[in-house]
Structure 1
């Protein structure tokens, strides 16, 4: 008699009419388990723990899930009537989560616990709550129900931690107090939250936020500072989890918490005299055969690396070329789970099964690279300019060299940013900055992938799968070849080139729109026709948007128009001396700059300024007006929209443009005895003040901001541009350009040129 038959003398392959309680049924592996139960074990009843999501009930989520591709073959084979019967009779939804398990039915025969975190690197408290707390919640509910089902606990082969050599199919050998670690992890957030609110930390967040959003106003600064605080808390908790895991001998907080969940299961369930089996899959990827080749539900463990290579983000790789990448198809994992479920361990004696390929059919990293190179050479990812991204050649220089190269590229990219951000805003500089941002994103992704997968791509662990192979051998010994192929999981059946080139890579890449659909190379979309509406406003900024000038130029025009040539050199010298201070004020707060600069009008007669504006200044201002702006204003007026010019400058200086708009909102300078004091009568309408004005203006005039239009050029305009449904960044500065690209706003390049003025009454 063979060893396999001895190990499993009465192999069962059918679950009969068992009542199965399934957790994690909406996840990748959980969906595959449910499909297998529905398709191959028609007498079973399945209770699923599904949480209500928003206004969608658990039952509605189940109905939606059953329309997914994984269930198509089953639906087609049984018909819609049987699908509906299954929903109403075979499938039962228990509304809730593992943190609030409802009372369990008394007739449960089998539990398959496949719920867990889907992230390797979550904050430490979230990882513990999901993986450890979820397991504790399940076993507490089972004990409270006073029932005795066989539990199949789906874990991961990587619970073995940071070790080399063979990892046996057995209970983990560690003496870490998982309960103490659980308590500490749950308290981590409160400690980090407290630290994030300390004055010295908050001051740093405020300084960073002010440097980025100071021109918009204090509310924008406070929002950014709080956003940075929240990000800081998350980063600290992620680092806490990663570091604590490594300090205890695990690769990351995911494998650490999965290991603790195993220990919780042993102590709470097996030690109480119940039947418990562990299934530990390695890296689970797309199906080899069932429900169809290539089925996958979203990106899994190896897939971000695959697509990063295809997109040219991995010019080199920090992995060890001869380390084994242990990949298993999801249908093999499900077949093991179902077969283990049908053959329970004796009460109080947990059994362990590794579902892995490394021992029987190893896939070294260099072989994986060869497959990647072959596939993406034959099927390159397209670029927006109708080109293709060339497949990189890896030489495996080692992790440290790769990390040094990444840091060098980051420094070069930062230097390019420093150069381009100081250059005038043009189409070319905006494209260059967009390239800098894309490169930074790619480098950050590469660094993140390197940090996240370092231990997996440099692993020297081999998962012993003796018991799992014995189970497979028992199938071969007792079943027909067709049945053995259907329910089996022989890793030597996998031909890696066929699997990757013909099954997995096509499945992964077709999920990516950038790969499956070549970008169009047509001209930019035509300007849409403005709708005829009377409840819409079009708000235009002045400097850089309607006129190609700024407050400094306008002041020089005024001073150069009849105020005496003798005073001109001294005025220019004074202005140059004050310029650094003005620039610093502009960087801090647009309103501060306007106040400071307009003080230069102190002592000027009001009548004299009005005279200059009416003559030479007015002509100069009109010559600097951009024709595209004039055309756009006219188009809005023709569509019945209210047009408003809003500027932080004083109204006298924009009087030559007043006839173009329905309304002009500008500042007023205080005067005494016909002489300007240099002080504004009220704060300038810029940044957040302009946003507040616009909100009130729309309310008072019954205007629909969601259908309205805004045109601005500066990052300080962001706060009010985001209030309207149709924002445009006109000749934007670097920061506004970045936001416009990120939010997919229209970017307009308007230049000065010959204009034809259109009166307000035209």
Structure 2
């Protein structure tokens, strides 16, 4: 786990000197961490162009940047260190483009789109919908079809390198060691052509036909519910747990073919959580995959959950992911013309089992719950139990069936209000539908190629400025003293999830999860 690589001089600042980056998704969690790191530690950068969708409160990209991004607490250390430098950087080198990633040419005129293409050296595409229960039409639009615009910009600018932020979970239901390559669908047999490209166009057309058929039968909320269910059915039928990971896989396959023999890097993070060290330990925005169940437990809504204690749950701090993005971009500038896949993960390098994850969090909750007043309203009264999925399903069924008539059942779960308990059981069921796959891992993600990249770029060892190695993490300290504190300080406000989640999230990464936030 603690293997060290020989350290060469860092090449990152040299390769990115004077370069202009286009970044999508900076109003989201990971996007902010990437932007903050570049602004702080890549002073040689030429310029940063941010594609940001306007909204009713902030009609222009610049307005939204100032109100939602530059004002974020993640930039607090920079403002404190030198407010003048921070404001000067934002004014002189951050260029905001008002546009929508899903619209043709981002909604820009031909001239503006051409002008943008002429200025950019690397495209960092981080925008996505990370709602695991997104409507299929929305998920396709944001996670797959909008990549036509990314490719068009790249081609117009003379093969601008594209860095696509994806997810390790595009590997779906595949089992065992999952390396940094393309893996076939675990269930459906999607045809491949003679060059090995999957025939995703006919598949997308069939999905669109099913979407249109539902649109002809349903309206408004009923239509939305049907499109969510369609996404879940199609995803699982083809070998993915949810609509998010299915549509991200489709996006990878589209880019693989469209940018064949061009410069494309696919960066796949695992479950992104709070920062390990920079710019401050524990910084996080919103409730992520691994936190939804913890938050529900803290609210006394969940006391048992389906999972596998011995399974490796792959969590990676956001600052390590941001560093991986920056390393990959620097490599694209230095050595263009290649397809690369990197996985930013911890499972093979510094494995954390679900059992240890739960034990560390529960120990901190029991011993120091009063320290985290926003997270824990009172001391948790019951231990959190991980049980197998079959037992969970049976237990949930029996509890729901007998709740209204059996007093002993009420005493068993420590409640004397049947309606409230039924709501809590519903929360457990909703969370299990989404997250049971992630709590019962039958896979281990590997990242030898990312570690080799760090070695080539001179970013290994104690003096690395852009570290990516999960071996740096002391899991007990991180989970007990960094992550929970970060949730309490940054993600939660007044005992409620931090921000009101918008209906569409086109600028967030894995994963700000609207459904679990509502459930918890």
TM-score tier after normalising by the smaller chain length: 0.7 to 0.9
User: What are the residue-to-residue correspondences of 1:106-255 with 2, within 5 Å?
Assistant: 106-143=118-155, 145-173=156-184, 175=192, 176-196=198-218, 230-255=220-245
Shifted more, 279-288 versus 121-130: the winner is: 121-130
State the match for 2:328 in structure 1. 340
Aligned in 2, Cα 1:412/1:263: closer, same or farther, shift over 3 Å?
same
Q: Deviations over 1:620-667 (max 9, x none)?
A: xxxxxxxxxxxxxxxxxxxxxxxxxxxxxxxxxxxxxxxxxxxxxxxx
State the match for 1:495 in structure 2. 474
State the match for 1:46 in structure 2. 48
Aligned in 2, Cα 1:480/1:470: closer, same or farther, shift over 3 Å?
closer
* 2:78 is equivalent to residue 74 of structure 1: yes
State the match for 1:454 in structure 2. 436
Q: What is the Cα deviation at residue 347 of structure 1?
A: 4.6
Aligned in 2, Cα 1:488/1:195: closer, same or farther, shift over 3 Å?
same
Structure 2 distance, partners of 1:193, 1:415, is 42
Q: What is the Cα deviation at residue 185 of structure 1?
A: 3.2
Structure 2 distance, partners of 1:482, 1:346, is 26
Structure 1 distance, partners of 2:392, 2:309, is 14
Q: What is the Cα deviation at residue 472 of structure 1?
A: 3.4
Asked whether the 8 Å contact 1:4–1:474 carries over to 2, the reply is no
Aligned in 2, Cα 1:231/1:114: closer, same or farther, shift over 3 Å?
same
Q: What is the Cα deviation at residue 448 of structure 1?
A: 0.9
**Alignment coverage as a number of residue pairs:** 458
* 2:382 is equivalent to residue 411 of structure 1: no
Asked whether the 8 Å contact 1:114–1:154 carries over to 2, the reply is yes
Q: What is the Cα deviation at residue 467 of structure 1?
A: 0.7
Asked whether the 8 Å contact 2:151–2:258 carries over to 1, the reply is yes
SS in 2 for 1:462: strand
Of residues 321, 338, 346 in structure 2, which corresponds to 1:357?
Answer: 346
Of residues 284, 290, 300 in structure 1, which corresponds to 2:278?
Answer: 290
Asked whether the 8 Å contact 1:49–1:96 carries over to 2, the reply is yes
Q: What is the Cα deviation at residue 311 of structure 1?
A: 2.2
- TM-score normalised by the chain length of structure 2: 0.81
Q: What is the Cα deviation at residue 376 of structure 1?
A: 1.4
Q: What is the Cα deviation at residue 387 of structure 1?
A: 5.5
Asked whether the 8 Å contact 1:35–1:70 carries over to 2, the reply is yes
Asked whether the 8 Å contact 1:285–1:300 carries over to 2, the reply is yes
Q: Which runs of 5+ in 2 are unaligned?
A: 186-191, 193-197, 407-414, 497-520
Q: Which runs of 5+ in 1 are unaligned?
A: 197-228, 417-431, 517-762
Q: Deviations over 1:379-408 (max 9, x none)?
A: 34889xx953314242x4311211222222
State the match for 1:749 in structure 2. none
Aligned in 2, Cα 1:480/1:164: closer, same or farther, shift over 3 Å?
closer
Q: Deviations over 1:550-596 (max 9, x none)?
A: xxxxxxxxxxxxxxxxxxxxxxxxxxxxxxxxxxxxxxxxxxxxxxx
* 2:95 is equivalent to residue 92 of structure 1: yes
Structure 1 distance, partners of 2:315, 2:159, is 34
Structure 2 distance, partners of 1:300, 1:152, is 23
State the match for 1:547 in structure 2. none
User: What are the residue-to-residue correspondences of 1:363-442 with 2, within 5 Å?
Assistant: 363-380=352-369, 388-394=379-385, 396-413=386-403, 435-442=417-424
Structure 2 distance, partners of 1:245, 1:467, is 28
Q: What is the Cα deviation at residue 440 of structure 1?
A: 3.0
Q: What is the Cα deviation at residue 97 of structure 1?
A: 1.2
Structure 2 distance, partners of 1:501, 1:494, is 12
Asked whether the 8 Å contact 1:188–1:237 carries over to 2, the reply is no
Relative contact order, CA 8 A, sep 6+: which one is greater? 2
State the match for 2:30 in structure 1. 29
Structure 2 distance, partners of 1:347, 1:66, is 32
Structure 2 distance, partners of 1:495, 1:482, is 15
Structure 2 distance, partners of 1:404, 1:438, is 20
Aligned in 2, Cα 1:3/1:40: closer, same or farther, shift over 3 Å?
closer
Asked whether the 8 Å contact 1:124–1:241 carries over to 2, the reply is yes
State the match for 1:508 in structure 2. 487
- TM-score normalised by the chain length of structure 1: 0.56
SS in 1 for 2:208: helix
Asked whether the 8 Å contact 1:110–1:149 carries over to 2, the reply is yes
